[in-house]
A and B are shown apart, each in its own frame.
Chain A
Amino acid sequence: MSKAKENTKTAAPKAKAKPKAKATEAEVKVPGPLEELEQKHERKNVLMQGNEAVAYGALDAGCNFFAGYPITPSTEIAEILARELPKRGGVFIQMEDEIASICAITGASLAGAKALTATSGPGFSLMQEGIGFAKITETPCVVVNVQRAGPSTGMPTSPSQADIMQARWGSHGDSPAIVLYPDSVKESYELTIRAINLSEKYRTCVVLLLDEVIGHMRESVLLPDLRNTRVISRIKPNVPPHWYKHYDKDQKYLSPLASYGEGYRFHVTGLTHDALGFPTNKPAEGAEMMARLRNKITYNIRDLVQIESHQMEDATIAIFAAGITARSAKAAVAMARSEGIKLGLLRPLTIWPFPDEAVRKMLQDVEAVIVPELNQGQFIREIKRLTRDKSEGTVVGLTKVNGQMLTPNEILSKVKEVM
């Protein structure tokens, strides 16, 4: 991949871009690293790592600003962007720590950049306050967390799915979350583009959770047709500056966003603020701001939630799993089917907001749900939350926290135990 002839003139938005005249959602076809192959219709398979796929996905989504700090197992993302962003006129900066990294990308985004950072567990913990700032100020940015095992330093090169709840609740003060979770190298590419698109559309910090094994696994990938890649950029205001409200309530909470240096001279604060962005202590205005943060997610659930339903049509037992564990689960489904067991898999690509509707339907349709995950039981809490009349035994967890993956056999054994 890295040696492929790449187009160095990718249309990364220019730093001094003028505000657009109309408040429209931009859809741009951005040529990507495989543009030449694409033009010849030679959609060859390329061998790449999940971390590489994230970096190229970011570039193809128009990311033009990266600030980060080295940490295993995410470092390749920074290394690739350090090499590729300057070729496209973008900014790469290695900051002094992860706190500075999240702050720098938020600042750059307020100046108009499509900004991204990548980290792993310890760095993700350090970024939590900054993630909350991006959310309350409704500033688009993307944080990629390539998860590693254990609390604290843990096992830096081993897989884990233990940041599922941290990605939802890690930042103090009850803010909503959009979190995506790929299960393959190809999907890492696609969901990175989607993460940037959603951050721009919903004006929030979107988190992409990767499993360490996906970040470091090399797979043969047939990348999607880049000419049809949909790239979303933030809506720019089309009103004169004195009419501009940084947090305008209209348009399904998807309000326009001006950038610094474009004449709008707005105020941004991490304090609870009014529609103009000025701090407020008035209970009504505080409640309105919190409602706005919540509603822009809940009013748009159908746009945000993505799930894969695999062999669920006639399933009597279902697995609910994400990321690399879903890959093992898929193999377990095939093994079970060959033995005549009607096993299916429900896999969330968006884990937050949680796919309540799909899970409720699954709980109605099957006799038992197995929830394998590389933590001590995080997804299962959400599944049990959605259980109504069923007995406790119908939702069964399978956890592993020794730094290894769950194998298809382990999952299949659990299925047979429950049957």
Chain B
Amino acid sequence: MANIPQKVVHDYLRHDKKFPHVWCAGCSNGIVLGSIIRGVASLEIDRDDVVMVSGIGCSSRMPVYVDFNTLHTLHGRAIAFATGIKMYKPHLKVIVVTGDGDCTAIGGNHLIHAARRNLDLTVILINNNIYGMTGGQASPTTPHEAIATTAPYGNIEPDFDICKLAIGAGATHVARTTAFHTQEVQRMVVDSLTHPGFSLIEVVSACPVIYGRLNKKGGPSQMMKEMRDNSIPLSAVDKLPPEKVEGKIVRGTLIKEVKPEYSELYADLLERVSAMGDEE
């Protein structure tokens, strides 16, 4: 793991433009942003070739702060915009930053179809289990019986397993970790950016101000500790008795396989069509 100094991270930020940021004290989004920057910096990708696309929500405010090509789009639609960019300029590295509501509720359709196509996008989904920006409504990942402003008597819906959803839809690289495990986030960002195909990283995060307060989770540090204590690495799952795995966040690379990538398939199609023209 490349050790990227803070000075380098700072250099990637639009520090003279739109700071201070909008995120609450104790929010995980800044931690994830730092890990993304370290991942990109360690790969030494030209930042002119990086596009960061987001939808709407707390996490989707990220692009404005970072010195890439940046696009802050409509609620749920980041992947659809990213598809247009990637298909027109396949050499660009397109990173989508999104949240649980943005990507799996309003944007669920785009997620499953981009995964199905296996288009080479890096989707970083910061899952804080709530709609934070609108003040704490239930999202598709709000746990069963948790409190939200639109579930004041406890959430009666089951929650999504986002990684299973992505794998089921055909994603070829899917990983999960938490915002506590910053080194792991960075490593997964690197894996994702070097993976030729659709990649989704679910980063379970802490929203102490909205979700934490509604559900009496304590302050930021308690929520950090909970992410540490309530998660287990994938490698440990088989070694532990089922009752110790139940309810835990399983961290690790859940799938990584190489299958034909969509923009490459399209390039092949162009060659085939061009050859047909030459034959005529």
Contact = CB atoms under 8 A, between A and B. Distances in A.
Interface of A: 8, 15-16, 64-65, 67, 86-87, 89, 91, 93, 95-97, 99-100, 103-113, 115, 129-130, 133, 260-271, 276, 278-279
Given A103-B74, A106-B84, A261-B89, A86 B269 contact: yes
A100 B80 contact: yes
8 contacts: A16-B91, A64-B88, A107-B85, A260-B51, A261-B89, A265-B68, A267-B70, A270-B74
Interface string B224-251: 0000000000000000000000000000
Nearest to A262: B48
Contact of B87 (A65, A112, A260): A65
B84 A260 contact: no
Given A91-B87, A261-B89, A261-B92, A103 B77 contact: yes
B23 interface: no
A130 B77 contact: yes
Interface centre among A89, A108, A109 (most CB of B within 10 A): A108
B109 A96 contact: yes
B187 interface: no
Contacts of A16: 89, 91
Nearest to A6: B277
A264 B269 CA distance: 31
Contact of B64 (A64, A67, A262, A279): A279
Contacts of B113: 95-96, 100
Contacts of A129: 74
Interface centre among A86, A103, A279 (most CB of B within 10 A): A103
B110 A100 contact: yes
A99 B113 CA distance: 13
Interface of B: 14, 17-18, 47-49, 51, 53, 63-64, 67-74, 77, 80-85, 87-92, 109-110, 113, 266, 269-270, 273-274, 277
B118 to A, nearest CB: 14
A133 B88 contact: no
Contact of A133 (B17, B74, B109, B110): B74
Contacts of A104: 80-81, 83-84, 87
Given A103-B74, A260-B69, A278-B18, A265 B48 contact: yes
Contacts of B14: 267
Given A260-B51, A260-B69, A267-B70, A100 B88 contact: no
B75 to A, nearest CB: 9
A108 B17 CA distance: 26
Contacts of A111: 51, 84-85, 88-89, 92
Contacts of A64: 88
B31 to A, nearest CB: 22
B88 A112 contact: yes
B71 A268 contact: yes
A105 B84 contact: yes
Given A95-B80, A260-B51, A268-B70, A108 B87 contact: yes
A202 B212 CA distance: 47
Closest 5 CB pairs of A and B: A107-B84, A103-B80, A104-B84, A108-B84, A107-B81
Contacts of A96: 109-110, 113
B180 to A, nearest CB: 30
A99 B92 contact: no
Given A86-B269, A112-B89, A278 B74 contact: no
B87 A93 contact: yes
Given A96-B113, A103-B84, A264-B69, 5 more contacts: A16-B89, A100-B110, A110-B85, A133-B73, A270-B73
Contact of B63 (A105, A106, A267): A267
B183 to A, nearest CB: 27
Contacts of B274: 8, 87, 89
B64 A87 contact: no
A103 B106 CA distance: 14
A276 B64 CA distance: 11
B84 A261 contact: no
B78 to A, nearest CB: 9
A36 B241 CA distance: 75
A67 B91 CA distance: 19
B82 A263 contact: no
Contacts of A261: 48-49, 51, 69, 89, 91-92
A265 B51 CA distance: 8
Nearest to A107: B84
B72 A268 contact: yes
Nearest to B64: A267
Contacts of B71: 107, 110, 260, 267-269
Contacts of B85: 107-108, 110-111, 260
B84 A65 contact: yes
A99 B55 CA distance: 13
A263 B113 CA distance: 30
A91 B90 CA distance: 11
A276 B143 CA distance: 40
A224 to B, nearest CB: 26
Nearest to A89: B270
A107 B48 contact: no
A265 B47 contact: yes
B92 A86 contact: no
Interface centre among A86, A115, A271, A276 (most CB of B within 10 A): A86
B80 to A, nearest CB: 4
B83 A269 contact: no
B274 to A, nearest CB: 8
A28 to B, nearest CB: 19
Interface centre among B53, B74, B82 (most CB of A within 10 A): B74
Contact of A15 (B70, B72, B89): B89
Given A103-B73, A111-B89, A263 B48 contact: yes
B277 A8 contact: yes
Nearest to B277: A8
Interface centre among B48, B49, B77 (most CB of A within 10 A): B77
A405 to B, nearest CB: 36
